[in-house]
Amino acid sequence: MANLEEIAPRGSRGYSLLQAIDFDRLPQHIAVIMDGNGRWAAARRLPRVAGHRAGIASVKEVVETSARLGIRVLTLYAFSVENWKRPKSEISTLMSLLKEYLQKELSSIIKNNIRFCTIGRVNDLAPDIQQSLQKAIAETSQNNGMIMNIALNYGGRAELVDAFQSIMRQVAQNGHRDTVITEQLISDHLYTSGLDDPDLLIRTSGEMRISNFLLWQIAYAEIWMTPVYWPDFRREHLLQAIVDYQKRDRRYGGL
């Protein structure tokens, strides 16, 4: 069981939420659609990129709190295949922020025993970004604590396309033309191969949609949505999501 005072100070709202959590029934995998950075900035008459920058503090807090709680996998949706439609300047700021985050936070990621991973068409990102990602992946590859999974140039449909192409390549290589398509085979060819599906999907900013995120994997995820914009999302919101998750009756289609 986690040391509660390492997560939130005694007497705080976070601490009382922690006391309501059953540590034997934590969601193993939490996925987050971090939304509302632009609206957070607009509400303050700031440029959109100020919202992305402010969102980094939320990333840090959620990563650190999840690792201390004992969450196994945290998947964060940072950049979608559709986000290339945004102005070039916003895209390049987002990429710089990612690089800056990795430069500043890698030592703390290592210290917290977190393994850094990515999902998405990462090979299409600029070479310097790929290098930063590779460095973080390599330097944390021996860590056996939480997996921090960043979705970059990610799309749920693109992932399925890539999975089917990968299955076709495998069939062509090994000549097993009688390969049977099963759910397990498809899961094994997704970017998330080897990871359990998310138990809890959090979306911030009040939007009620999935936005092409982990379409296959969230089949039975519990969804928790909040009107809070991502830059305002704090430890207490994460803990509240977990408390609410633990009140749900997960039946997986059964009774």
Question: Which of residues 46, 91, 97, 158 is near ligand FPP by CB under 6 A?
Answer: 97
- Residue 197 catalytic? no
Distance separating alpha carbons of residues 248 and 220, to the nearest angstrom: 12
**Residue number with the shortest CB distance to ligand FPP?**
38
- Residue 22 catalytic? no
Q: Among 14, 140, 130, 148, which Cα is nearest to 77's?
A: 148
Give yes or no for residue 203 binding ligand FPP (CB under 6 A).
no
Give yes or no for residue 37 binding ligand FPP (CB under 6 A).
yes
* Sheet arrangement for strand 222-225: 115-119, 147-154, 73-80, 29-33, 200-203, 222-225
Question: Which of residues 2, 56, 91, 223 is near ligand FPP by CB under 6 A?
Answer: 56
- Total residues at interface with ligand FPP (CB under 6 A): 20
Give yes or no for residue 101 binding ligand FPP (CB under 6 A).
yes
Question: Which of residues 78, 218, 221, 241 is near ligand FPP by CB under 6 A?
Answer: 78
Region from 5-13, 37-45, 109-117, 121-129 binding ligand FPP, contact rule CB under 6 A: 37-45
Distance separating alpha carbons of residues 170 and 92, to the nearest angstrom: 36
Give yes or no for residue 52 binding ligand FPP (CB under 6 A).
yes
Distance separating alpha carbons of residues 255 and 244, to the nearest angstrom: 20
**Which three-class secondary structure state does DSSP give residue 102?**
helix
Q: Hey, which residues are catalytic here?
A: 35, 83
